Chains A and B, each alone.
Chain A
């Protein structure tokens, strides 16, 4: 099992500002790291895979970076619809492991 640790647990940012979320793996997962967005009462939505590739239909303000054990998700200019919980997930090895999530809230 690979432990995925997300920080911070909650991030307060004003609309229009930049937000950076972090995810750390307990061992290297190469670039096999995904980010999901989850809004209240909704299913998670795939945002980023392969650490930095945006999924279909995801706006360019979302970007991912990192490799090995350290990863980040950056939202360049926060829109109202971006306030949600973000999960990271490693898929380098079985079983797949998720982080505990970072809640991005309006400041």
Chain B
């Protein structure tokens, strides 16, 4: 059974960089059939797609966040990561990692999510 697990600091200071890692188990991140994504959910709000990466290094970014985000993959560790810089309180959210099916923007497996609070 595929599992995804997010990890990273739960508290980040304003203007600093948010860094999260997703560890994939029960399957290979190097499968050509899947892409890997970050999605977030601010408190009381809807889901927002952030970024996508394929193990080959192909990336897609949400245009509204593109200037501040970097997504990367480490196939040797079966992990992918997100960096979001210059954070503000508006970046406070539960961050999920997810698997995308065949590059079709459909998400079939999700991690449990991790709450990141931006505050001093």
Contacting pair B108 A46 (CB below 8 A): yes
A65 beta carbon closer than 8 Å to chain B: no
Chain A interface secondary structure, helix, strand, loop or mixed?
loop
CA distance A100 to B60 in the complex (A): 23
B106 beta carbon closer than 8 Å to chain A: yes
Contacting pair B46 A100 (CB below 8 A): yes
Number of A-B contacts (CB under 8 A): 46
- Among A36, A45, A91, the most chain B Cβ lie within 10 Å of the Cβ of A91
B26 beta carbon closer than 8 Å to chain A: no
Contacting pair B62 A95 (CB below 8 A): yes
- Measured CB to CB, the residues of A under 8 A from B are 34, 36, 42-46, 49, 55, 87, 89, 91, 94-101
7 residue pairs of the A-B complex, CB under 8 angstroms, read A34-B106, A43-B96, A44-B96, A46-B108, A49-B106, A95-B60, A95-B105
- Measured CB to CB, the residues of B under 8 A from A are 45-49, 60, 62-63, 96, 104-108, 110-113
